[in-house]
Amino acid sequence: MAAQTLSEEERKLRETAAQVLPAGSFGNEGSGTVIRRGEGGRVWDVSGNEYVDYLLGSGPMLIGHCHPDVLAAVEEQMPKGSTFFSNNEHGILLAKDVVDAVACAEKVRFVSSGSEATFYAMRAARAFRKKDKILKFEGGFHGMNDYALMSMAPKTGGNFPQAVPDSAGIPQHIQQEVLIAPFNDADAAVALIREHKDELAAVIVEAFQRLIPPAPGFLETLREVTKETGVVLIFDEVVTGFRFAYGGAQEYYGVVPDMCSLGKVVGGGYPLACVGGSDEIMAHFDASKVSEDSYLQQIGTLSGNPVAAAAGRATLRVLREPGAYDRLHATGRKLMEGITELLQKTGTKAQVVGEPPLFDVFFTEDNVRDYRTLTRVDAAAQAKFNQGICARGVIKGGNKYYISLAHTEDDIAHTLNAVEESLSELYATA
């Protein structure tokens, strides 16, 4: 790949973005790159620069950009209509695919985003339990709803279980409805759940929290104590669903919750997510199955729209092909091992953390096991390293390498070369 350049067209687009968008961006990754197109495991910006893409639209493009099967499915549906605000064939059959794949999902309800999915999962749990409080884990990311934005990224460590709001504009009383526990501390979680069992509707957890794997026995303990107390256990699988295994993190780690939220992969790159759970809990979405005061209203203009559902069905068909997950994990493992070797070779005080489909490099020697250990990462070194590999044609999020089925041996080789050069540059300017 050639050295990165900035065209006049992209410069003007960045100027326009600064004029019409807060902070010059959509609120996702920064405004430093304007992407024009993607194909397979790569993207190109408006200036024509090519990148190996580990951002993958923040994860939806698990089988790569513009996969021919997904394009064909979308192109077949588009002339027939983009949305109907009614049941449609693709949505119904995608729901069946999800129910067949995901252990906890006896029924599903579609929404348009992961934030909606986690919000409705919590609301359904409150309707089912007739309790108000939710327990979540410090550092856990569950989208942008008010309940999720509690102690997701607190600037200072609060006293457990006190919640700390992460955003302006959240009503103060929400703090009283959310309890916070440290991730991977089973004893602390058990104590809090037992103490508050009579007011808890649910425990919501990322089985794989951002990039931190669960400690041995942690998820199993959560499952045991929530069964014991009758509290609903929700796995937020917006990220891990269909990524770690076809059945998601609950298949990968062997622990089945009562409910889950799904997004990203399930929509094939289009706006679609869903909440799934047991018949008993999901009955609260059906006015004919529960009392009037237990009915949970949920309406969404684009929920289950046929274009997104067609893209999702096509994506899941690709993922059902023999060996798909073996290849995905092998690609991620090769990159993880290659980066680890380079860190050791250069004596860099950093480590690779995560699982083969999703990981990153953290510039710390501490054992990364929860949010507070993550706060001790050398953020400046990490940001400079990310900038270095971006300048060498590798794009990723601030703290994630998303791996896809489309990434090739050439992509891995290019990435490792960029990593090696960036580490050398980091030391040269330290």
- DSSP letter for 292, please: G
273, 309: one domain: yes
In three-state secondary structure terms, 153 is: coil
Same domain, 175 and 298: yes
Rounded Cα distance between 46 and 33, Å, is: 8
Q: Is position 258 within any domain?
A: yes
Residue 331 and residue 412 in contact, taking contact as beta carbons nearer than 8 Å: yes
Of 198, 206, 192, 213, the C-alpha closest to 135 is: 192
Domain region containing 250:
69-319
Q: Which residues, 6+ apart, have CB-to-CB distance to 305 below 8 Å? A: 82, 83, 84, 88, 91, 270, 271, 272
Domain end position, chosen among 319, 338, 353 = 319
Instruction: Determine which helix (DSSP H) or strand (DSSP E) holds 178, and give its type and residue range.
Output: strand 178-181
103 neighbors 247 (Cβ within 8 angstroms)? yes
Q: Are residues 115 and 179 both part of a single domain? A: yes
Report the CATH number at residue 133. Answer: 3.40.640.10
In a domain, 3, yes or no: no
Q: Specify burial of residue 298 (Cβ count, 10 A radius: 0-12, 13-18, 19+).
A: middle
Please tell me the total number of residues recorded for the chain in this structure: 430
Residue 32 lies in a domain: yes
pLDDT tens digits for 27-85?
Answer: 887 557 899 999 999 999 999 999 999 999 999 999 999 999 999 999 999 999 999 99
Quote the tokens at residue 38: 């993607």
Q: Compute the half-sphere exposure of residue 210: CA atoms within 13 Å on the CB side of its CA.
A: 23
Q: What's the pLDDT tens digit per position in 274-296?
A: 999 999 999 999 999 999 999 99
Say if residue 308 is in the same domain as residue 341: no
Among 297, 319, 341, give the residue marking a domain's end.
Answer: 319
Spatial separation of the C-alpha atoms in residues 247 and 325, rounded to whole Å: 11
How confident is the model at residue 429, as a pLDDT?
61
The answer on 87 and 43 residing in a single domain is: no
Claim to verify: residue 129 and residue 155 sit in the same structural domain? yes
Helical H segments across 130-276, by residue range = 186-195, 218-229, 248-253
Q: Which of 135, 138, 139 is nearest to 193 (CA)?
A: 135
Is-contact 52 407, C-beta < 8 A?
A: yes
Which CATH number fits the domain that encloses residue 28?
Answer: 3.90.1150.10
Q: Find the angle CA(106)-CA(89)-CA(295) to the nearest 5 degrees.
A: 45
**328 and 315 fall within a common domain:** no
Same domain membership, residue 228 and residue 86: yes
For the segment 234-282, what is each residue's pLDDT rounded down to a tens digit? 999 999 999 999 999 999 999 999 999 999 999 999 999 999 999 999 9
Domain membership of residue 312 (yes or no) is yes
User: Residues 412, 336: contact at Cβ < 8 Å?
Assistant: no
Same domain, yes or no: 305 and 187: yes
pLDDT the model gives residue 29:
73
Q: Is residue 40 part of a domain?
A: yes
Please give the Cα distance from 253 to 179 (Å, whole number). 25
33's tokens: 């790159």
What integer pLDDT is reported at residue 133 of this predicted model? 97
Claim to verify: residue 97 and residue 155 sit in the same structural domain: yes
Classify residue 408: in a domain, yes or no: yes
C-alpha distances in Å from residue 205, one per residue of 14, 119, 258, 359: 37, 13, 12, 18
**Is the residue at 309 inside a domain?**
yes
Looking at the 3D structure of the chain, how many domains does it have?
2
Instruction: Say if residue 410 is exposed, middle or buried (CB neighbours under 10 Å; 0-12, 13-18, 19+).
Output: exposed
Helix 306-319 vs helix 68-77: angle between axes, to the nearest 10 degrees?
A: 150
User: Does any domain span residue 245?
Assistant: yes
Residues of the chain with pLDDT under 50: none
Of 268, 289, 319, the position where a domain reaches its end is 319
In 139-150, which positions are buried (b, 16+ CB within 10 angstroms) versus exposed (e)?
bbbbbbbbbbbb
Q: Tally Cβ neighbours within 10 Å of residue 68.
A: 10
What is the reported pLDDT for 1? 66
Q: Give the Cβ contact number of residue 48 at 10 Å.
A: 13
Chain-centroid distance, C-alpha 265: 9
Phi, psi of 25 (to 5 degrees): -150, 175
If asked whether residues 214 and 337 sit together in one domain, one would say no
Residues 130 and 226 in one domain: yes
Backbone angles phi, psi at 295, to 5 degrees: -75, 135
Q: Which residues of 322-347 are buried (b: 16+ CB within 10 A; e: fewer)?
A: eeebeebbebbebbbebbeebbeeee
